[in-house]
Structure 1
Amino acid sequence: MEASYQGGVSYEETNNFQRLSQTIASNIKKISQNVSSMSKMVNQLQTPQDSQELRNQLRQIQNYTQKLAKDTSSLLMELMKLPVDQPAQKLQRDRLSDEYLSTLNAFQSTQRSAAQKSKEDVRKVKAQNINIGDPFAMNANNKELLEMGDTNVRKQEQLTMQSERELLELEERERDIRQLESDILDVNQIFKDLGTMIHDQGAVVDSIESNVEYAVQNVESGTQELRQAVNYKNKLRKKKVYIAIILIIIISILLIVIFHR
């Protein structure tokens, strides 16, 4: 039974600590790489490189990174709940926590930039197409359309179809914006949960440090009392020796007096 423990922490807990640490470190690296790719994509928005394909790729990598961030947060919380009694493990855990929070902050910043640019695009589209929500707004001029030639009618139909496509694209962008804002709120919740966990963990550490200080004080007090007891015992032994010597001297004097008589 004793062989399954090392320094007060079981081998199983030690293995779990290492497994979680490696997974978290790997996830942090992936999130950081994804954030870098997302940042480049966001910078291409509202430029000649902007396209629907680019926005689709950005949405996909954003969704994947969001899920990865949630999974990593759960793993980190699980790691922080494991008991650690080695300074190296505590330093490793704190380092992973700091790196994850920093990476998560960069991810949220990129999300905010993407959401801001998407909102600007939607506002521009709405401003340029006042009647985009009513692709059949031209029906009021049906009499004039009947008088137009076939060419003008086909052009009007194309404009109507284009308005419908723009309307569908606008609705899709607005859905993406709402989802992105929801994801940003989720990241805020992750920050909140981790902050609470770190604060509680700090309180536990403070409590442990207080207990250690109290134990040290007790040890010092016990050592002092033991030292005093030893001193008292030595003094008592010396007194016994002195009394014995005095008794021997008195007996010797009495014997000398008796023999002389």
Structure 2
Amino acid sequence: MDASYQGGVTYEDRGESFQQLSSTIASNIKKISQNVSSMSKMVNQLQTPQDSQELRNQLRQIQNYTQKMAKDTSSMIMELMKMPVEQPAGKLTRERLSDEYMATLNAFQATQKSAAAKTKEDVRKVKAQSATINIGDPFGMSGRSNDLVEMDDKNSRRQEQMTMQTEQDLRQLEERERDIRQLESDILDVNQIFKELGTMIHDQGQVVDSIESSVEFTAHNVEAATAELRQASNYKNKLRKKKVYITIVVIVIVSIILIIIFNH
């Protein structure tokens, strides 16, 4: 896990260039992906001989850290989507980053769900063990005969050890139940991120389609107007030629008439 990340939007001026924001988002996506890979390895070690409270604390820490980074990166993605982009390369970059982020976020949520499922299973086991111990001896010390005092002393020490273990298990139980509640809350947050980004990407796509349609419609109108102008020009040229031909014919006819008149 990269400990250099302090959370929040890392660019100071929201008017910075598209390229700078894209670079920041790409860096965060890489960090989230690395954290998810580390989380996945830790989750796989749960309920194995490698399982320990230290491991679970580390898992909780990286989970909380990645959750915050995911929220911050989501805000950056939304800001990027609002930026006007004219170059095709910029549009491709924006689409690539949003796709990569959604895929990384999906992997993060899957790891969260796996950790929550294993933690819930641990809680069920601890509760079952606690119930078995509490059943114990239904009669208690007052119902035993004096002949069993020595055996009772031995049983009492064992019972005391079991009680201490139970108290420790109960503390772990409370802690893991808190982890479950936190994981479930974080999973809901990730669902909300998916929803917001999905809506924005869909709306952005409609805007782009509308712009492209307008451009295509305008281009079509320009082509049609050009064709009409070309056709009008052709008609005008034909009309001019026709007038010339008529003038020539009239001149020829008049000349012929004059010649005939003069000859008579």
Decide: shared fold, TM above 0.5.
yes
Alignment of 1:16-31 (within 5 A): 16-31=17-32
Any unmatched runs of 5+ in structure 1?
1-11
1:32 shift after superposition: 0.5
Letter in 2 for 1:116: A
Could you tell me how far apart the structure 2 residues matched to 1:119 and 1:13 are?
42
CA shift for structure 1 position 162? 3.1
Residue aligning to 2:108: 107
Aligned length: 248
1:166 paired with 2:204, answer no
Mapped pair 1:204 → 2:221: no
**CA–CA distance in 2 between the matches of 1:176 and 1:21?**
34
Contact preservation (8 Å) 1:101, 1:191: yes
Q: Distance in 2 between matches of 1:207 and 1:200?
A: 10
* Residue matched to 1:116: 117
Aligned to 1:194: 197
TM-score (norm 1): 0.84
Q: Aligned-residue CA RMSD in angstroms?
A: 2.9
Matched to 1:177, the amino acid is I
Question: Which of residues 216, 220, 223 in structure 1 aligns to 2:219?
Answer: 216
Pairwise CA distance, 1:213: 2.1
Shift of residue 212, structure 1, vs aligned partner: 1.9
Say if 2:98 is the partner of 1:83: no
Distance 1:13 1:211, change over 3 A: farther
Aligned-partner Cα distance in 1 for 2:125–2:154: 30
AA matched with 1:210: S
The equivalent of 2:229 in structure 1 is 226
Taking only the aligned residue pairs, the percentage that are identical comes to 73
Kindly state the Cα deviation for residue 158 of structure 1 after the two structures are TM-superposed.
4.3
Query: C-alpha separation between the residues in 2 aligned to 1:194 and 1:187?
Result: 10
Q: Does 1:184 align with 2:184?
A: no
Q: How much has 1:30 moved relative to structure 2? A: 0.3
CA offsets per residue over residues 204-226 of structure 1, 9 Å max, x none?
12211221221122112101210
Structure 2, unaligned runs of 5 or more: 1-12
**C-alpha distance in structure 2 between counterparts of 1:240 and 1:102, whole Å:** 73
Per-residue deviation, residues 83-137 of structure 1 (Å, max 9, x unmatched): 11221111111111111111111111111110010011111111111178x8xx9
The letter for the 2-side match of 1:172 is E
1:39, distance to aligned residue in structure 2 (A): 0.5
Distance 1:156 1:73 in 2: 53
Matched, 1:239 2:242: yes
* Alpha-carbon offset, residue 47 of structure 1: 0.5
Q: Does the 8 A contact of 1:69 with 1:104 survive in 2?
A: yes
- With over 3 angstroms needed to count, the CA separation of the structure-2 counterparts of 1:51 and 1:13, relative to structure 1, is closer
Equivalent pair of 1:13/1:82 in contact (CA under 8 Å)? no
Deviation at 1:228, TM superposition (A): 1.5
Distance in 2 (CA, whole Å) between partners of 1:59 and 1:241 is: 94
